[in-house]
Amino acid sequence: MDINHKIFFDEMPVPRFLVRMTEDKKYHVVEANQRAIEYFHRRREQIVNCDMESFIDNENVRHFEQAFQVCLRQKMPVTIQALPSLPGSVRVYGFWINPVVMDDGETVLMDVMAQPDTTDESILQRERDDAISLLTSIFDVSEIGIFVTDRHRRVVRVNDSFLRAYGWKREDIVGEDFAMLLPAGEKKEEIQRYDAMMDTGIRSSGEGRIMRKDGSIANVLYTTATLDLSQGRTFQVKTMMDITLRKQMEISLRMAKERADAANNAKSSFLANMSHELRTPLNAVIGFSEIMMNETFGALGSDKYIEYLGDIHLSAKHLLEIINEVLDMSKIESGKVDLDEQEIDIKGLVTSVVRIMESRAFKSQVKLTMDIEEKSLNVIADMRLIRQVLINLVSNAIKFSKKDQEIKVSVYQDETEDLIISVKDDGIGIPKDKIKEALEPFGQIMDSQHAKEQQGTGLGLPLARAMVELHGGQLELDSDVGKGTLVTMSLPSRRVIKPKDTKE
């Protein structure tokens, strides 16, 4: 044993000694520290380099020997309780016996170390002192504000973090009623809550407010616990985290949302009112231009007038379509659209829309085809809205398709029995990174390929999606430049009416 280990061994506060088994099966003490000498109540020369049976009575020797035999046999640490009776002043709870095993597996020594007696008041006192020191350190260095109050609501202790956060000095509040930290209108309620907690001992947490030194109010997140000590003393420990900035941010966000909602409502109301105001004169322009084009009250006298009237009529109808789109979108955004639901023959509806759009497709030299399942597919929906969605989708497909390209309108049920209506074209397509923009209100794809076709508001696809979503469905768009576009509208299976001959 080198000098450093020797010092450590000797200065240990509990009895410790080393034992070796001799050839004649005796247990020989090789070394013992001062606490072990005191424990066995012998002189050093009566213990060190002596067999244990020479200084311990037979009963206690057998107590040790049985534990030694187990330790040697198993080559594992064992524990035993304290000896029944020894005259020394040192009291222990028991002993750890650890075998010292060499590389070749031979046990050369047994290291015997006492376990402290937990009834030893000096040890308990040291443990209490250590615990108090640890808790005091945590209290002082915590970045969370902490203060302690007694049964009479007096502040008895406060940490530095609390003082820094709220600007108080220790002498300002220690010994004072904690109510001085509360806003005037909240004192009564908080005092009642405090007294109730002192009586019940229930823990609580939540949000509250306290006064800073400068008179401003801080929002805090707190946790409160009641602590019962000896002699009937009761204290309350409260931790506080300042959340003033977070509360201000919440208020700012709420106000911003309210302003945005108000602005959106004002916009929707403005668009709705303006749309109504504009539609009235436009309908007159369209009606009178039709009368003049038809020469209802006589010839106009010049072919140029008829040509100009055609332009007036076409522009007015286009402007009316735009106004109607804006009006429809404003109604949907303001939640003023009520579905006029009825049973619809989807096959008949799609066929009628394709027939209506064939003339436009023929004019653009585009082929328009249908692929519809043979079985009856009736749904509960608003016929006007579904027809408008289909017209918008087919119209877009025609607009962005080139000569001799094909547009296919398909109707079927998927594996979940949702009704699927898709419109696929082989046109110029939309860049994948612009698809989301195309589905937003007033979103238009501004590039060289699309610019010459942009004559509307950019509400066609967003309106179609909004109308489908009113039915609980979805509208999805898949496209890429030069690869065409696939628009898929799905209506949930709960809207599909099963044929009467379908067996459950």
Nearest Cα neighbor of 382 from 468, 465, 323 is: 468
- Highest mean pLDDT out of 191-200, 279-288, 297-306, 329-338: 191-200
Q: Is the pLDDT of residue 327 over 90?
A: no
Which residues are paired to 352 by β-bridges? Answer: none
Q: Is the pLDDT of residue 27 over 90?
A: yes
pTM flag (> 0.85)? no
Q: Is the pLDDT of residue 499 over 70?
A: no
Q: Note the pLDDT of residue 17.
A: 94
The model's confidence at residue 291, banded by pLDDT at 50, 70 and 90, is confident
Q: Note the pLDDT of residue 504.
A: 45
Q: Is the pLDDT of residue 411 over 70?
A: yes
How much is the average pLDDT of 247-264? Answer: 85
Q: Note the pLDDT of residue 127.
A: 56
Q: Note the pLDDT of residue 425.
A: 92
Question: SS in 3 state form for 177-243?
Answer: EHHHHCCHHHHHHHHHHHHHHHHHCCCEEEEEEEECCCCCEEEEEEEEEEEECHHHCEEEEEEEEEC
pLDDT, tens only, 51-78? 999 988 888 888 889 889 989 988 889 8
The domains found in the chain, sorted by start residue, are 3-117 (3.30.450.20), 123-242 (3.30.450.20), 248-333 (1.10.287.130), 341-497 (3.30.565.10)
Average pLDDT over the chain, rounded to whole? 82
Q: In what order do the strands lie in the sheet with 217-228?
A: 155-158, 145-150, 234-242, 217-228, 204-211
Residue 157: which H helix or E strand, with range? strand 155-158
For the chain, the farthest-separated pair of C-alpha atoms sits apart, in whole angstroms, at: 146
pLDDT, tens only, 148-199? 998 888 998 899 999 999 999 989 988 899 889 999 888 888 888 888 888 8
Q: How long a stretch of residues is the chain?
A: 504
